[in-house]
Amino acid sequence: MAIPTDALDHPAWLGHPHPRVEGAAKVTGRATYASDTRLEGLAHAALVTSTIPRGRIIGFDLAAAEAVPGCLRIFTHRDLAGAIRPVKHLMAGGFANSGHLPLGSDAVAYAGQIVALVVAETIEAAREAAREAAARTIVRYAAEDFADGFDAPLAETLRLADLKREHHDPRTGDADGALARAAVTVSARYGTPIQHHNPIELFGTTCAWDGSRLTIHEPSRYIGAVRHGLAAQLGLDPADIRVVSGLIGGHFGAKLALAQYTAPVALAARALGRPVSLVASRRDGFTIANYRPETRHDIHLGATGDGRFTALVHEAEVITSRFDPFAMEGTDVTASLYACPAVRTDERAARVDRNTPGPMRAPPEVPYLFALESAVDEMAVALGLDPIALRRRNDTATDPISGKPFSSRPLMACFDAGAEAFGWPERDPEPGRMRDGPWRVGLGCAASARPVKISPATMRIRLGADGRATVASAHHEIGNGITTLLALGAAEWLGIAPESVDIRLGDTDLPAAGLSGGSSTTTSLLHTLAQACETLRARLAQAATGAGPLAGADPAALRLRAGALVAPDGRTCPLGTVVAGLDPAGIETVTAFTPEGSGPEALAAIESGRMALGTGAGSKAVSWAFGAQFARVLVHEETGEIRVPRLLGAFAAGRVLNPLTARSQLTGGMIWGLGSALLEETILDRGHYRNADLAEYLVATAADAPAVEALLVPDPDDAVNPLGLKGLGELGIIGVNAAIANAVFHATGRRIRTLPIRVEDML
Ligand code: MOS
C-alpha cells in the first residue's frame, strides 16, 4: 500500500507547531501512570538486594522481618528457584534487559542483585520488613573475589566481535601506516563515566491474576517484549498476558524490555492470591535496571599540514556483565563521520561482576563522539585552524567505510546555521584570552550525528459516522510527543481536526508494535499511520464514486479534506455520509507497515516481542541525522567553578512534523548533555555504586539549565524513507559533552579528556 506523500505538499497540521495533546492532563495531575493502578486487595512489595558483589547465599534469618506487622510473605530463591525459565537479552534475540535470573539460585553475581522479595499489606510495611531483612545483614553470604571495572585482575576483556557475532569493526585502508606518515597527529585517551537513568517515575510493576490470565501494569517502552518474555519465563500462552504501560514517567533509555522483577512479582501475586505492586526505591534502580557503562577510547588522528585527515584509529573499550552478550558498539559512527582514506577501529568489552548495562539515550554516540569530537578539536589546535573550518575540510558526501552516499549530508549546514546564530565569529581563536570579569570565557563546538532507525508496526484505525477517528497501536508515549503526532497525522490524512482523533497506545491488547527506542518511533509510526489512512481513503473513495455527489469521479483522485471527500473538480461529499453508507457503526482497518529493506521476518519479530530495528534506506544509501552543538562556558579564575550560560544546537533530521515537540526533545537532550559533561557520574567502589540517590548522583536541574536554543535546519531527504523522516529524540544530547569540554579548553587552555569535568580539574 502506497504512502500518500503528496498529502504533505501543503500540510494543514503536520509541520506546524502543536502543543502536546496529553499535556494538560500531565500538568494538572489527571494523567495516571502504571503505579497509580488501584486494585482490590492490592499488596505491596519491596526488594532486598545483595550487599556483596559476588558469592553465595548460605542462609536467611528472616524472623525479624516476618514479624513486622503487615508482612505477608518473603520470597527468596528457596521459593522461586526453577519457577522462572531463563530468557535471553533483547539484543541477543530474546526479550530481557538481562539474562541473569536473580532469584534463580543461591548465587550472587553482583552487588545490588535482588535476593528477596518482601510482600506486605502496605508499602511502608514492605519497606520496613525489607530493611529488617537487609540492614541487619540477616542474609548470610560467602563472599568471593570479583572484578568491578577496567583493569581489575579478574575482568575478562574480549573483542566485541567475539562477544557479538554480528559485530564487525569498521576499517578501510592502512590506518597505522598512514598514521606513521602523517604530518600532524593527535593521540589521546578519553574516558566517560558510569551513568544511571534517573527518571522521576521509579521502576516497578503491578501484577494481577484473573484465573490463568495475568495483567501487568508496568512502565515499559516495549510491552510486547514484556508479554512474550514473561510468557516464556512462566510457561504461559502470550495470549493470556496483557501488559499495560500507560504513560511513562521518563525512561532515559531504561524501562526497555523484560525486567528482572516482573516474574517474581507475578509469582508472588499468584502464591498470595491477590495482586501485588512493586515500586522499587531510587537506590534499587541503580542495580535492578541498566545503566550507561563507563567507556574509554584511544584515538589516533593523522592529518596533512593543511588539515586533511589521512588516518583515524579508534580503539574503544566498554564494560559489560558476565552473563549477557550486550555491549553498545559505536565506531560505526566515528569511523564514518569524516572523509578519511584509512580507518582502523577496534572495540573491546570487559566483562565484570556487575549488572548488565543497557541503552541510555544515544547509547553509543554520547561516549564515542565525546572522544572523536574532542580529538578533532585537538587537531584544530595542533593545526592552528578554526574547528569548524577543519570539519568543513573533512566533510564528505559518501561514507568512507562503505563507499555509499549519505542520503543527505547537512552537517556543515548545521555548523553554518549554528555558528551564525551563536555568534561564533566573535570567538578569539587563541585559548585563554576571552574574559568577563573574574570569569574566563570559552566557546566550543562539536558535531552530533546518529544513524536513522525504523521499525515495522501494526495499527488499527476506526472511523465513525460521526467523523471521529481512533488510532490504536501497542506502541508507547514515552514523553516524546508521539500521541500528538499521531493525532496531527490522522487529522492530516483523514481530513478531520486533531480534536476528533483519539489515540490509544501502551496496551498489548492493541495491534503489535516494536520498542520505543533508537529515535525510531516517529519514523515507524507515522509511516504506519499514513499507510492505514490511505487504506481508509481508498475504501471511502471507492464507495463514494458509485453514486451520490461524487458519482463517476476517479477514486484515486479523491482527497479527504475538512470533513469531506473532495474531487479535483470541486465536488464534495461529507465524510460521515460516506462512512455511514459503508457501515453506520463505522469502519476500521488494521494495517501492517514494513520498512524498505526489512522482510516479513521483521514484522514477525515485533509480533513476537523481539527486536526489529532497521535503517529503512535499503542498501543504496547511508542515512543519518546531524547536528552542530555550540557551548559558551565560564570558568571562574579563582574558584574554578564552571558555568554554562548558553547552549545552542542546529539540527537537521529530515522532515520535522511538529516543531514544538521537536524543539522540546532537542533542548531537553541538550540540558541532559550539560549534566553528562559536568555532573553525572556513578561512583564505583569495590563493586558497589556508592552514590545511588539523587542527593549524590547529580543531574542538571532548572538552576543549571542555561539559555538553550535548538534551531531546525531544513533537510529534505526523499531517499531515507517515503515521508523523509529521520527521528530526533536522541540527537540533542549527542556532542554536548565535547562542545563543553572544547569550550573549557578554549577558556582555560586545559584539555579535560575524562568526564565529568570537575572544579578540581580547573585548579
Ligand atoms: Mo535509545 S536509549 O536507543 O531509545
Q: What is the pLDDT of residues 650-703, one digit of tens each?
A: 999 999 999 999 999 999 999 999 999 999 999 999 999 999 999 999 999 988
pLDDT, residue 5, reads: 72
Which of ligand 1's atoms lies nearest the C-alpha of 515?
Answer: 4
Q: Which long-range contacts (CB under 8 A, 24 or more apart) does 484-487 make?
A: 484/18, 484/19, 484/20, 484/21, 484/22, 484/658, 484/661, 485/14, 485/522, 485/525, 485/526, 485/657, 485/658, 485/661, 486/525, 486/526, 486/529, 487/21
Residue 224 predicted with pLDDT over 70: yes
pLDDT band at 80; cut points 50, 70, 90:
very high
The answer to whether residue 50 scores a pLDDT higher than 90 is yes
Q: How far is it, in rounded angstroms, from Cα 645 to Cα 741?
A: 14
Atom number, ligand 1, closest to the C-alpha of residue 251: 2
Tens digit of each residue's pLDDT (9 = 90 or more) over 288-327: 999 999 999 999 999 999 999 999 999 999 999 999 999 9
Q: Is residue 518 lining ligand 1, measured as CB closer than 6 Å? A: yes
For position 11, what pLDDT does the model report?
Answer: 87
- Whole-number Å distance, alpha carbon 252 to ligand 1 midpoint, is 8
CA-closest candidate to residue 337, choices 414, 494, 448: 448
Which residue puts its alpha carbon closest to atom 4 of ligand 1?
Answer: 517
CB distance 361 to ligand 1 below 6 Å: yes
Taking 70 as the threshold, does the pLDDT of residue 710 lie above it?
yes
Percent of the chain with pLDDT over 90: 93
- The alpha carbon of 520 and the centre of ligand 1 are apart by a number of angstroms equal to 9
| pLDDT grade for 615, boundaries at 50, 70 and 90 | confident
Atom of ligand 1 nearest to the CA of 221: 4
Distances 285 to 189, 249, 326, 543, 694 between C-alpha atoms, Å: 31, 14, 19, 55, 11
User: Which residue CA neighbors atom 3 of ligand 1 most closely?
Assistant: 518
Count Cβ atoms below 10 Å from residue 685 Cβ, excluding itself: 10
Distance CA 193, CA 680 (A): 8
* DSSP type of residue 512: P
Q: Check pocket membership of 363 for ligand 1, CB cut-off 6 A.
A: yes
Residue of 255, 730, 731 best suited for mutating to test ligand 1, as the one with most atoms within 8 Å of CB: 730
266 residue type, one letter? A
**Segment 23-46, tens digit of pLDDT:** 999 999 999 999 999 999 999 999
The per-residue pLDDT for 457 is 98
The answer, yes or no, to whether residue 138 has pLDDT greater than 80, is no
Q: What is the pLDDT of residue 1?
A: 55
Ligand 1 midpoint to CA 256 (Å): 8
Q: What is the pLDDT of residue 79?
A: 96
Ligand 1 atom nearest to CA at 518: 3
Bridge partners of 472? 460, 504
Which among 198, 361, 676 is the best mutation to test ligand 1's pocket, defined by most ligand atoms within 8 Å of the CB?
Answer: 361
Check if CATH label 3.30.230.80 holds for domain 4-31+454-607. Answer: no
Q: Is 364 in the pocket of ligand 1 (CB under 6 A)?
A: no
Distance 497 CA to ligand 1 centre (A): 32
Structural element, H or E, at residue 125: helix 123-135
Does ligand 1 lie within 6 Å of residue 253's CB atom?
A: yes
Q: Tell me if 4-31+454-607 shares its fold with 42-144+200-250+255-288.
A: no
What are the structural domain ranges in the chain?
Answer: 4-31+454-607, 42-144+200-250+255-288, 157-195+292-452+619-762
pLDDT mean over 610-621 = 83
CATH of domain 157-195+292-452+619-762: 3.30.365.10
Q: How confident is the model at residue 137 (pLDDT cuts 50, 70, 90)?
A: low
Q: What is the pLDDT at residue 98?
A: 97
Mean pLDDT over each residue of the chain, to the nearest integer: 96
Instruction: Show the DSSP H helices in 45-122 as ranges.
Output: 63-66, 77-80
CATH architecture group of domain 42-144+200-250+255-288 = Alpha-Beta Complex (3.90)
One DSSP character per residue, 350-372 reads: EEESS------SSTTHHHHHHHH
144 part of the active site: no
Ligand 1 and 517: CB distance under 6 A? yes
Ligand 1 centroid distance, CA of 603 (Å): 20
User: Do residues 621 and 452 lie in contact, with contact meaning Cβ atoms separated by under 8 Å?
Assistant: no
The finding on whether 360 has its CB within 6 A of some atom of ligand 1 is yes
Distance between CA atoms of residues 617 and 176, nearest Å: 32
Find out whether the beta carbon of 527 lies less than 6 Å from any atom of ligand 1: no
The model's confidence at residue 136, banded by pLDDT at 50, 70 and 90, is: low
Name the active-site residue from 128, 317, 607, 730.
730
Ligand 1 centroid to Cα of residue 94, in Å, is 17
How far apart CA 659 and CA 663 sit, in angstroms, is: 6
Does residue 472 have a pLDDT over 80? Answer: yes
How far apart, in whole angstroms, are the C-alpha atoms of residue 719 and residue 589? 28
Q: Is the CB of 359 under 6 A from ligand 1?
A: yes
> Given a cut of 70, is residue 618 above it in pLDDT?
no
Contact status, residue 238 vs residue 228, Cβ threshold 8 Å: yes
Q: What is the pLDDT of residues 493-507, one digit of tens each?
A: 999 999 999 999 999
Q: Is the CB of 669 under 6 A from ligand 1?
A: no
Distance from residue 259's CA to the centre of ligand 1 (Å):
16
Reported as a single tens digit per residue, the pLDDT across 407-429 is: 999 999 999 999 999 999 999 99
Q: Is 159 helix (H, G, I), strand (E, B) or coil?
A: strand
Q: Which atom of ligand 1 is closest in space to residue 252's alpha carbon?
A: 2
> How many angstroms separate the alpha carbon of residue 209 from the centre of ligand 1?
31
